[in-house]
Structure 1
Amino acid sequence: MPTRAEAKGLGAISSDGNLSTARTQTSRKGFCSVRHGLALLVHLCNFSINSQRMSLSIAMPAMVNSTAQLRPLNASAERPPADSQDSWNGTLQQSEAVAPVYDWSPEVQGIILSSYNYASFLVPIPMGYIAGIFGAKYLVTVLTSQFSLWVKWAPPLEKSQLINIAISGQLMGSFITLLIGGFLCQTKGWPSIFYIFGGIGCACSFLWFLLVYDDPIHHRFISAGEKEYIVCSLAQQGCSPGWSLPIKAMIKSLPLWGILVFHFTEFWILNIMMAYLPTYINSVLQANFRDSGILSALLLGAACIGTILGGLLVDFLHSRKIFRLVTIRKLSTAIGVLVPSVVFVSLHWVRFSFSASMGLLALSSVTIIFCQMGALVNILDIAPRYTCFLQGLSEVFAYSSGAISSTVAGFLISQDSEFGWRNVFLIAVSINMSGLVFYLIFGQAKVQDWATEQMFTQL
């Protein structure tokens, strides 16, 4: 976010609300705008961040020599293509030849897969606060900081669209990593995944520092029409930055707690899905790690497309006033929880059918992203002045959930090779449903009193 003087500059420009109709229409047309270009650039950075994170998930089946034994006691009645099964031993031998293989139990694998989250929950709150004061440009490596950009760049009627274009980069990063990761593990060895996607991250950082600006006021190449449109839209919303934190009011805010609790419960199931999807397809559905990567990628590719289209749909429903914003948020959240919950409960009973299992997983991948149009962006609705800090706080809940869920999943799978996966899914669904109920009861989509400019309660 800009400094105090820059914030005043925003107010000075936004005070002239007499935009010409032609200029306003021009600034709102199509996707050829600086703000959409920024969304694509954030998409690319999210791609890089998540591809590095997902590298471990796709490499894990190739890093261990015990994954192939983690199969249900009964043979599958419907198997993947014969060549996938016949090539498993050859694939494993090839992998061992080009990279070391470790004897890790499922419990150890769960701890390793969740290790990404162990220290991550310490970073979001201070980084979110720093981003709120100094801007997001110099905090590219922190996912939290990107939300401060949309406080200054996203007109209210385009908020969901721009955020979902950016957020879909996480799914795209997972999609590409899974799509080519299995092939790289088989031909070049699993270390190659980390080298390649680490290099892409360095390139994304260069582009970020070169092209990203914290607000449209200081952007060198933005048109006057687009600048006026963005600034005046945000002035009407009244989302100038907050420099003090009303901590006591935040603690008492049930709508905020509804969002935070949902972040914990939703990311429980999301982390299991992201970390264990290749392993599940490999061990339960009996596909080799190359094919499991490709199949996992197809599922996430569908989710990526659904994220962008879902953002457009939400903005359409909001701009045409078909539903109130709070209705859109809660309906999207309900769809994103209920449909995947039914899928995960059903997986244990259709595990003998490869096509049925993949069909259900595809359905869950497409519908689970509706939460991104619901509770997971709701902070921008209730407290735009404190978006960075609160987004950081919500990520603490998300990372804490991830640290626990993968570890618990690994323990359950190691204890029972047949019913372990069923127990993992049932626990995840129960936790996710409880978060949905809490959010539906307390969730709101209007700016809270403690987040308005008239409130300056401090510790």
Structure 2
Amino acid sequence: MSVCVAASLCCSARYSLAVVSLLGFFIVFALRVNLSVALVDMVNSTSNKQEDRGDKRCPNHTSHASMPHPSKGKKYNWDGDTQGWILGAFFYGYILTQIPGGYLAGKIGGKLLLGFGVLGTAVFTLLTPLAADLGPGYLIGVRALEGLGEGVTFPAMHAMWSSWAPPPERNRLLSLSYAGAQLGTIVSLPLSGLICYHMDWAYVFYIFGLFGVLWFLLWYVLVSDSPQTHHAISDNEKEYILSSLKNEMFNVKEVPVCEIVKSLPLWAIGITHFSDNWIAYTLLTLLPTYMKDILHFNALENGLLSALPYFGCWLCMIITGHVADFMSERLNFTTVAVRKIFNTLGTIGPSIFLVAAAYTGCDYALAVIFLTLSSTIGGCTISGYSINHLDIAPNFAGLLLGITNTIATIPGMVAPITAKSLTRENTVEQWRMVFYIAAAINLAGALFYLAFASGSVQDWAMDNNKPQKS
């Protein structure tokens, strides 16, 4: 038996990296989405009061509407457009640091870049209540600064995984690591609802901001940029990782800018990333609003029910990673086949259920079920486009993710404003149009990926012409 086989995943340094990064992305998304719930409680309900539209709006749940909401926090008279800008402001900062973050991670390593990115986001989160009190402009500015910090996180982590994840374990390790994003959403949404329901909404930002600071200390002590610099890795594991990656890592000194720009496999990742994020960011920023204004759930129920879709997605991501590795290693599926299968499931499936949710009307239970199924199946994309950067150019994985995530951040800026402008009266018909648009964009991205995706290392990412397994 070879040394490679003997290097167990259990209790290994690479597994520890996956767990600590899972906690990191838990914090990242908790800091990102908590405003979606808190904003519902921050805004004076009279500022959003709508004209009665008869049967075009859903009736209140008698049992839900009667439940008191002992809010103690300050209220602000922000209209729908202002709320849309506040929800989208994060992404105006987020989009600016994707490509620089990926480039820097490839040059200096991802550990400190990711760590300080999360720390900065946590500090600005702690300042959110003060910014809100100063005015919406200040809050928009603080949210944009939070986005600047978080923008480096995924590219930095991808760059680290290019040095840490052996190909036979790539799906499992990355799905575990990035599942922290869904887990953070799962916990943050209901916990934010509970905090808003029983306390001042400002504590949403104080509590999660503090956890972000504490996580930075854990990350700084336990994590290293590569196996060669890790203080506690075994020689056996180090040799296994390095030998597994030796056929993928090439000594390419300069970034092949022109070749990257012309690469259809990279455009396939970027376009499907954009389309997938249109649905993701629409739900991430506006699902609590939909739960309140259309389905009439109160703050406590809102947080719990808004988290259900992300629980399903988290579960799907964990299972999918193991299934994808099994298909590659035991069933001999090619890399590109695995990517296309799971990407198709994770993009077309959510589109179908999102359209179905649009036709549930005022059937509250069925709407929640379809929205949950839509997000659950979306978890399959973790073994589709999400880690495809590592397949086509492991040396530039962080930079490529920075490029595609820049493209995919545009929906975070546009989708909330678009949805708010389409749902001024908060009717079922208006929200149906929001879901139609998201589903159509996602379907287009899925088809483009099917046509042009690749699973092999591209020529421009190599320093020789050695053929690669596709």
Separation (CA, whole Å) in 1 of partners of 2:44 and 2:353: 30
Q: Is 1:285 matched with 2:295?
A: yes
Q: Is 1:74 matched with 2:74?
A: no
Task: Report what 1:7 is aligned to.
Answer: none
Which AA in structure 2 matches 1:310? T
Separation (CA, whole Å) in 1 of partners of 2:443 and 2:5: 42
User: Secondary structure in 2 aligned to 1:186?
Assistant: helix
Task: Report what 2:181 is aligned to.
Answer: 170
Task: Report what 1:130 is aligned to.
Answer: 104
Q: Is 1:119 matched with 2:100?
A: no
Task: Report what 1:36 is aligned to.
Answer: 15
Which AA in structure 1 matches 2:357? L
Change (3 A) 1:281 1:157: same
User: Secondary structure in 1 aligned to 2:200?
Assistant: coil
Deviation by residue 1:376-426 (Cα, 9 ceiling, x = unmatched):
221111111111111111111111221111111111111663422111111
Q: Is 1:249 matched with 2:230?
A: no
Deviation by residue 1:110-143 (Cα, 9 ceiling, x = unmatched):
2211111012211111111111011011112221
Change (3 A) 1:301 1:418: closer
Task: Report what 1:24 is aligned to.
Answer: 4
Deviation by residue 1:295-314 (Cα, 9 ceiling, x = unmatched):
11232122112111111111
Contact 1:79/1:353 (8 A) holds in 2: no
Contact 2:92/2:413 (8 A) holds in 1: yes
Separation (CA, whole Å) in 1 of partners of 2:110 and 2:426: 46
Contact 1:106/1:414 (8 A) holds in 2: yes
- 5 Å-filtered alignment, 1:211-222, equals 211-222=222-233
Q: Is 1:399 matched with 2:409?
A: yes
- 5 Å-filtered alignment, 1:340-359, equals 340-359=350-369
Task: Report what 2:388 is aligned to.
Answer: 378
Separation (CA, whole Å) in 2 of partners of 1:260 and 1:72: 40
- Aligned equivalent of 2:156, options 130, 141, 145: 145
Task: Report what 1:180 is aligned to.
Answer: 191
Task: Report what 2:273 is aligned to.
Answer: 263
Q: Is 1:105 matched with 2:86?
A: no
Contact 1:73/1:417 (8 A) holds in 2: no
Task: Report what 1:331 is aligned to.
Answer: 341
Task: Report what 1:226 is aligned to.
Answer: 237
Task: Report what 2:441 is aligned to.
Answer: 431
User: Secondary structure in 2 aligned to 1:352?
Assistant: coil
Contact 1:56/1:113 (8 A) holds in 2: yes
Task: Report what 1:192 is aligned to.
Answer: 203
Relative to the length of structure 2, the TM-score reads: 0.86
Higher relative contact order (CA closer than 8 Å, sequence separation 6+):
1
List gaps (5 residues or longer) in structure 1: 1-19
Residue range with higher mean Cα deviation, 398-407 or 160-169: 398-407
- Aligned equivalent of 1:441, options 437, 448, 451: 451
Separation (CA, whole Å) in 1 of partners of 2:312 and 2:446: 24
Separation (CA, whole Å) in 2 of partners of 1:100 and 1:424: 30
Contact 2:179/2:314 (8 A) holds in 1: yes
Separation (CA, whole Å) in 1 of partners of 2:381 and 2:364: 27
Which AA in structure 2 matches 1:233? S
**Deviation (angstroms), 1:35:** 0.5
Separation (CA, whole Å) in 1 of partners of 2:79 and 2:58: 27
Task: Report what 1:313 is aligned to.
Answer: 323
Which AA in structure 2 matches 1:283? D
Identity %: 33
Separation (CA, whole Å) in 1 of partners of 2:313 and 2:268: 25
Aligned length: 426
- 5 Å-filtered alignment, 1:80-91, equals 83-87=63-67, 90-91=68-69
Which AA in structure 2 matches 1:139? L
**Deviation (angstroms), 1:198:** 0.3
Task: Report what 1:411 is aligned to.
Answer: 421
Change (3 A) 1:101 1:77: closer
Give the RMSD, CA atoms, in angstroms: 2.0
User: Secondary structure in 2 aligned to 1:114?
Assistant: helix
List gaps (5 residues or longer) in structure 2: 118-151, 466-470
